[in-house]
């Protein structure tokens, strides 16, 4: 291309931009929207001449880039948190549906011990019952029978859900999985007519999975559903002539 042709094209471009002053800005904005990283790859002409001039433009651009990086990080964290919350909600809803689908106490206990941890994507799910020094007919493996007062002491402050790192006292609720669990959620189950304390202990190897300050409404919903179903099965057993909360009679010697 000849120099004359280049000069002509340059002049035509200048004339067009003068007649359409917003064109270049609109094009640049559109390109940046389509390619967010484009600004990072564009090199800006440095100031020439007097080096004593303070380059406020460069300072402002640097500030804007830092702000952009910060807001991008916040956005990504918010998206990740929203996805995690949605996934947790779906898992809890699935577990509640599975609980409601059980037709007898044995099936429900089996689901809690074998399948519930898979549904919730957790490492340990244990149903704990205070024995009160008695052998209730329905308490057998895999239900964890714990000492009198141990569950009541966990919820002595009135809360129904306890989150955080397991301590020396709460680790024994997880039985063989105690050494694996690094974060826990202890859920008080209020079962109708139950003369003893019952709790669902769930745990995960991820130390950050359950933590203080985390919302507990989904876990309370899960606990309420499980407690209601347990109460229904206990009532069914009572209606059929079996008292689930009565210890077996001591044989006469």
Task: Give the residue extent of every domain in the chain.
Answer: 80-239
End-to-end CA distance of the chain: 116
The tens digit of pLDDT for each residue in 195-222 reads 788 999 999 999 999 998 888 999 999 9
Give the up-direction half-sphere exposure of residue 119: CA atoms within 13 A in the CB hemisphere: 20
Q: How far is CA 188 from the centre of its chain?
A: 19
Bridge partners, residue 129, by sequence: 145, 198
Write out the two tokens for 224. 């309420």
CA distance 90 to 98: 12
Instruction: Determine if the peptide bond prior to 38 is cis (ω within 30°).
Output: no
The pLDDT, as a whole number, for residue 102 is 93
Residues lower than pLDDT 50 in the chain: 248-253
Q: Reading across the β-sheet that carries 124-130, which strands appear in turn?
A: 144-146, 124-130, 198-204, 183-189, 161-164
Topology annotation, domain 80-239: Beta-Lactamase (3.30.450)
The pLDDT, as a whole number, for residue 143 is 81
DSSP state of 173: G
In degrees and rounded to multiples of 5, residue 187 shows phi and psi of -115, 120
The pLDDT, as a whole number, for residue 42 is 59
The pLDDT, as a whole number, for residue 112 is 93
The pLDDT, as a whole number, for residue 173 is 93
Residues present in the chain in total:
253
């Amino acid at each position: 291309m000849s120099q004359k042709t280049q000069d002509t094209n340059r002049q035509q471009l200048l004339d067009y931009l003068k007649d359409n002053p917003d064109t270049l800005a609109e094009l640049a904005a559109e390109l940046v929207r389509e390619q967010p990283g484009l600004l990072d790859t564009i090199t800006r002409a440095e100031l020439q001449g007097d080096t004593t001039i303070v380059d406020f433009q460069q300072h402002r651009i640097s500030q804007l880039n830092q702000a952009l990086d910060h807001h991008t990080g916040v956005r990504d964290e918010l998206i990740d948190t929203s996805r995690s919350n949605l996934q947790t909600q779906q898992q809890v809803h699935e577990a509640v549906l599975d609980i409601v689908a059980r037709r007898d106490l044995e099936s429900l206990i089996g689901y809690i011990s074998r399948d519930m941890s898979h549904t919730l994507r957790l490492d340990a799910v244990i149903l704990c019952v205070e024995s009160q020094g008695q052998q209730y007919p329905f308490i057998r493996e895999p239900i964890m029978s714990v000492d009198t007062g141990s569950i009541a002491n966990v919820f002595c402050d009135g809360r129904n859900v306890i989150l955080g790192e397991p301590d020396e006292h709460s680790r024994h609720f997880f039985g063989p999985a105690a050494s694996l669990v690094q974060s826990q959620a202890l859920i008080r189950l209020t079962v109708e007519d139950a003369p003893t304390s019952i709790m669902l202990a769930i745990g995960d190897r991820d130390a950050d999975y359950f933590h203080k300050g985390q919302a507990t409404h989904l876990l309370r919903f899960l606990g309420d559903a499980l407690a209601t179903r347990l109460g229904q099965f206990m009532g069914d057993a009572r209606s059929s002539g079996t008292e689930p909360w009565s210890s077996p009679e001591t044989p006469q010697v």
